[in-house]
Amino acid sequence: MDRAQKKLGNAEVQSRKNTLAFDTILSDQRNRIYEARNKVMAENEAYFEQIIEKALHHVIHNFIYQSDDLSVHTLSDFIFNHLKSDYPLKEIEAHIDSTSPKPVMYDYLFGLAQTLITQSLHRFKDPVQLRYFKKVIILKAIDQAWVNQLDYLQQLKNMVNGRGMAQHKPLNEFGREARRRFFEMEDEIYLGVFRSLALSELKMNEDGTIELEFP
């Protein structure tokens, strides 16, 4: 009985240590997210432009260089789903075919994205409304990705705690997987910004206000 109680006590101490370590990892990610949110809330136009430019490069680079099967079909699917649903297929086929090198596809897609997103932003005639639009879509992308991240980390914590009973090192597993998933969350944020820039619908009201409908 004494050995069982001692073993139980040691397990409880280890559990508290693990919980503290889990919370430290979570806190670090939360601080980085809140730091980014605070920059957005400050409505720094230069920061908005930095995020938008990075979103274009990041999303297109990932699509082009992480795709095993690049063809006119997959490229057009990307354009229809993320940039413009009714973009003419013949315009894509006029510039790209299945033999085009990846750098050529990247340059074409990046140039097209720049053009379509610039056209989308030019719908705003009031600079205050334009700045607000950029602020909202970036915040929306960050918040949605962070909610998904929190849910994932909670499930991960439960899973690796269970593995600890089988002599695994739950803290190491949690830290490694949490870090990997953080980079995936960044991908989600940039994709969210990218799609909202291009696909958000605007409804102009008679009083000059605008209603936004996000993709």
9, part of any domain: no
Task: Look at residue 18 in the predicted model and tell me its pLDDT.
Answer: 56
87, part of any domain: yes
Neighbour-count burial for 115-151, b at 16+ CB within 10 Å, e otherwise? ebbeebeeebeeeeebeebbbebbebbbeebbeebee
Task: Look at residue 206 in the predicted model and tell me its pLDDT.
Answer: 78
Task: Look at residue 17 in the predicted model and tell me its pLDDT.
Answer: 58
Task: For tokens 């409880």, name the residue.
Answer: 12
> Average pLDDT, stretch 25-50?
91
Q: Enumerate residues 6+ apart whose C-beta is below 8 A from 4.
A: none
6, part of any domain: no
Tokens of 17: 């240590």
Residue 125 reports pLDDT greater than 60: yes
Using one digit for the tens of pLDDT, what is the confidence trace for 82-96? Answer: 999 999 999 999 998
Residue 156 reports pLDDT greater than 90: no
First to last CA, the chain: 61
1, part of any domain: no
The residue segments making up the domain with residue 134 are 16-213
- Any idea which of 124-128, 170-174, 179-183 has the lowest mean pLDDT? 170-174
10, part of any domain: no
* Domain CATH number, residue 96: 1.10.3060.10
pTM: 0.83
Give kind and range of the element (H or E) at residue 120: helix 102-121
The total of structural domains in the chain comes to 1
68, part of any domain: yes
145, part of any domain: yes
208, part of any domain: yes
